[in-house]
Structure 1
Amino acid sequence: MSGPFAGVRVLDLSRILSGPYCTMVLADFGAEVIKVERPGAGDDTRHWGPPFVGGESGYFLSINRNKKSITVDMSTPEGREIIYRLARTADVAIENFRPGTADRLGIGYERLRQENPSIIYCSISGFGQTGPYRDRPGYDALAQAMSGMMAITGEPDGPPMKHGMSIADIGAGMWAVFAIAAALYHRERTGEGQAIDVSLLDAQLSWLTYAAGNYFASGKNPGRYGSAHPNIVPYQPFATADGYIMLAVGNDRLWQQFCQAAGRPELADQPGFRTNAERVTNRADVVATVGAIMAQRTTAEWMELLERAGVPAGPINTVEQILHDPHVLAREMVVTLQHPTAGEVKTVGIPAKLSDTPGTVRSAPPLLGQHTDEVLAELGYDAAAIADLRERGIV
């Protein structure tokens, strides 16, 4: 394997989304990821459908490429022994059980570091390993709700809304990748492993950025602006003659360029419209004026006109449209893989393009337990021992 994490072995005890997203990214950049699943059932997301392709859910296929799958019953002494052997050879272990569960199973940080003192052990949970909410069950929707994200999402006169994607899970997975990379760098210099604590709620709070900054600066609770921006106007979708377009007038120079391109140069110097601060204060008037202008042309006409004028704008694509977009395809953001039962499957590509050590999409998401025999043999189990473990349902 190649990539910046080549030679790094990851013991993946996670399931659902936050942990598997993290380990997929690590695998994309060269890590060997051994995904441990329950015998006969596997990761819950294998069953989250329809849609299913070749017996696998589209959900599972989206976040488990480049991994090996083994099945182990970790509630048994023999199963835990397999985990301990894996820990001795692993650089990183990751789990996303509720706090305390891994310790009760005998696979927590303190136990695994007895097998490997330099192991990096990452725990992802809803609310973290400390604090009064520690023992609460953690779900993406709860983190979005409790973090304030839902309170600032949706139309001003509508109810709070959850994001269309599981941003708390994915955000926590991204923070876990960063933390693991930082811990690997620290271990490279010192030889020391450590525990990492990532929570969905903390990850969402970190994304509040300017919403929190606006509150700290003003003392006012941020409201909902629909698809508009609280600090920039006009910066939102507008209806065209045949659809919608996203207009992003991010500064006063762009406002002047927009007014010229739209054939309304006088608006650039109109009182209440001249500066962004004025436009934010007079949001309703500005939006109404721009809305009337945008309705006069089609989306395609506006895109040609605004691109020529250097004004940021874009169509509001469906998922189907963007996955067939020529720019997206040129960037290799849709990748095709051969799966043992599903045949040809597509997955979203790798967004970070490294010049010398790029990530690669090498293998399709594994079948349940596809690599059990291979991995156990590497750990020193012979064919008879593996057959015995399988007969007793331990693997």
Structure 2
Amino acid sequence: MAWLPDWRHPTPARRRKRMLPLEGIKVVELAQNLAGPFCAQILAHLGAEVIKVEKPNGGDDARGWGRVLSHAASSSFNAVNLSKKSVVADLKDPADVEKVRRLVDTADVLVQNMRPGTLEGLGLGPETLMARNPRLIYCSVNAYGASGPKKMDPGYEPIVQAFAGMMMMSGFPGGPPMRMGTQVLDHGSAMWAAIGVLAALAERHHTGRGRKVDTSLLETAIGWWTNPYAGYATTGEVPERHPTGSRGVVVFEGFETADGPIIVAAGNDGLFRKLCPVIGKPEWASDPSLATNRQRVDRREELVGEMQRVLKTKPRAHWLEVIAAAGIPCTPINALPEMLAEPQTQAVGMLQKVPGLERDVPLIALPLQFDGQRPPIRHRAPTLGENTKDVFGE
């Protein structure tokens, strides 16, 4: 089976009905909470058939996280389990474990996020399943990685954010550590896992054999340190907190106006010179001691403080208009409802209605387009065990 439709030489049938890139790929998901399920949902949005294996008596823990959105499942569950099927299997029951093995025998990909060693103890580890199905891509997402002294430790998003130093970099100088506002490690790990799966599928197209793919929340967190780490490795200086700004660029951060915050990003010397007359500081543009960004970084406190004093004197609509007119990147600092109301947000079409959802609530679709079309959300998240009979033939 080819791993992707051949877009270069479409058959007449493909011309009539545009295929999604992963149609024909079967994914078995042995995962719960966020990271593993979000990885599998990415694959589902790309067209794969994703069969989610859930425990009896409640299924995925995320079904109970937050308020009910549809079919007795929470908003959190619906957010990362769209376009999937659900089967129930008790992994403490040898007969159910064997059903799962047979299901994986016919799969292209397995996605799991259990603690290292858990599935191996059930005979569902990569060595066993890949020996039975050499074409299988076995993808694991866990908290701390597949090796090391903490590999068996549990770790949710805030735990790993704290361990990886991310909280110490978030918030205001002198304030307490702060968690980042979204699930950047769960979602980032899911994306790395999906990238790994796609790379392994591409390789399998040539070799005929699968791969074991591993990532973790900790590895994702370390990966986000790329630029701050480069500075630390070069200078030995621990990066300082800059709540809305950049340590190495001035002016490049958030400011309060008379009625709301904005970001101004004069990211190079030319943009800084354009900014100066707009904010009533034309003398800064000709000041040789402010000619380069490095010089401005040395005078950060003075420049940012004076600019803050000026911007507080007028409403943000005024500043956004005149700063943008000068060709300088700027934006309001939006809350979620403001972001959703932005014409640009509506234009990109990331929110889609979900077929079969009990409430008329659009959810977030895949942030990718193919030939100008975004893959659709094909159907709501499944009810617990909704597809058990069809998949297992019971």
For 2:71 and 2:137, the matched residues in 1 are separated by 36
| Separation in 2, partners of 1:205, 1:37 | 31
Match for residue 344 of structure 2? Answer: 327
Structure 2 equivalent of residue 301 of structure 1: 318
Which one of the candidate residues 206, 220, 240 is aligned to 1:189?
206
- Does the alignment pair 1:216 with 2:233? yes
What is the correspondence of 1:142-291 to structure 2 with a 5 Å cutoff?
A: 142-291=159-308
Alpha carbons of structure 1 residues 56 and 242: separation in structure 2 relative to 1, 3 Å: same
Question: 2:211 & 2:119 partners in 1: Cα distance?
Answer: 16
Matched to 2:388, the amino acid is T
Tell me, in whole angstroms, the C-alpha distance in 2 between the residues paired with 1:50 and 1:372.
Answer: 26
Secondary structure of the corresponding residue to residue 304 of structure 1: helix
Paired with 1:64 and 1:161, the residues of 2 have a C-alpha distance of: 28
Q: What is the distance in 1 between the residues matched to 2:242 and 2:229?
A: 15
Q: Deviations over 1:244-285 (max 9, x none)?
A: 111111111111121132232221222443221111111100
Q: CA deviation at 1:8?
A: 1.1
Of 293-302 and 14-23, more deviation after overlay is shown by 293-302
**Out of 87, 104, 129, which is 1:70 matched to?**
87
Q: What is the one-letter code of the residue matched to 1:57?
A: S
Q: Is the 8 A contact 2:71 2:383 kept in 1?
A: no
User: Structure 1 residues 107 and 357 mapped into 2: Cα distance closer, same or farther (>3 Å)?
Assistant: farther
**Does the 8 A contact of 1:119 with 1:194 survive in 2?**
yes
- Paired residues, number: 377
SS at match of 1:337: coil
Is 1:359 the counterpart of 2:371 in the alignment? no
Pairing 1:77-92 to 2, within 5 Å after superposition: 77-92=94-109
Q: Could you say if the C-alpha distance between residues 272 and 349 of structure 1 is closer, same or farther in structure 2, counting changes exceeding 3 Å?
A: farther
- Residue 138 of structure 1: how far off its partner (Å): 2.0
Q: Which SS does the other structure have where 1:343 is aligned?
A: coil
Question: How far apart, CA to CA, are the structure 1 residues paired with 2:149 and 2:312?
Answer: 52
Q: Which amino acid aligns with 1:13?
A: L
What is the deviation of 1:2? 2.5
Compared CA separation, residues 282 and 188, structure 1 to 2 (3 A)? same
Matches within 5 A, 1:47-62: 47-50=64-67, 52-62=69-79
* Structure 1 gap ranges (5+): 387-395
Task: Measure how far apart 1:239 and its partner are.
Answer: 0.6
Q: What residue is the counterpart of 1:343 in the other structure?
A: 359
TM-score by length of 1: 0.91
| 1:139–1:301 Cα change, 3 Å | same
8 Å Cα contact 2:353/2:362 also seen in 1: yes
Identity percentage of aligned residues: 37
Cα drift, residue 142 of structure 1: 2.1
Aligned equivalent of 1:393: none
Evaluate the alpha carbon distance shift between residue 324 and residue 372 of structure 1 in structure 2; reply closer, same or farther with a 3 A threshold: farther
Contact 2:264 2:329 in 1 (8 A): yes
Q: 2:52 aligns with which of 13, 35, 39?
A: 35
**What is the root-mean-square deviation of aligned Cα atoms in Å?**
1.6
Of 18, 22, 38, which aligns to 1:21? 38
Residue number in structure 2 paired with 1:389: none
Q: Distance in 1 between matches of 2:371 and 2:231?
A: 38
User: Counterpart of 1:145 in structure 2: which amino acid?
Assistant: A
Looking at structure 1, the residues matched to 374 and 51 of structure 2 have their Cα atoms a distance apart, in angstroms, of 21
CA distance in 2, matches of 1:284, 1:176: 41
CA–CA separation in structure 1 for the residues paired with 2:267 and 2:335: 24
* Residue 96 (structure 1) aligns with: 113
Query: Aligned-pair distance for 1:50?
Result: 2.9
- Describe the shift of the 1:162–1:259 C-alpha distance in structure 2 as closer, same or farther (beyond 3 A): same
Could you tell me which runs of 5 or more consecutive residues in structure 2 were left unpaired when the two chains were aligned: 1-17
Contact persistence 1:127–1:202 (CA under 8 A) = yes
- Structure 1 residue 67 displacement after superposition: 0.9
Q: Describe the shift of the 1:54–1:370 C-alpha distance in structure 2 as closer, same or farther (beyond 3 A).
A: closer
Q: Is the 8 A contact 1:259 1:267 kept in 2?
A: yes
Three-state SS of the structure 2 residue aligned to 1:305 is helix
Residues 27-70 of structure 1, C-alpha deviations (whole Å, 9 max, x = no match) = 11111111111123111111012364552211111111111111
- Of residues 363, 367, 372, the one that matches 2:388 is 372
Deviation at 1:366, TM superposition (A): 1.3
Distance in 2 between the 1:358 and 1:53 partners? 24
Distance 1:269 1:142 in 2: 49
SS in 2 for 1:36: strand
Residues 173 and 306 (structure 1 numbering): CA distance in 2 closer, same or farther, change over 3 Å? same
Q: Partners of 2:373 and 2:127 in 1: how far apart?
A: 34
Deviation at 1:121, TM superposition (A): 0.2
Q: 1:357 to 1:51 in 2, by over 3 A?
A: closer
1: distance between equivalents of 2:113 and 2:286? 55
Checking the alignment, whether the CA contact within 8 Å between 1:240 and 1:296 is kept in structure 2 is yes
User: Aligned pair 1:311/2:328, yes or no?
Assistant: yes
Which has the higher relative contact order, 1 or 2, with Cα contacts under 8 A spaced 6 or more apart?
Answer: 1
Distance in 2 between residues matched to 1:2 and 1:75, nearest whole Å: 39
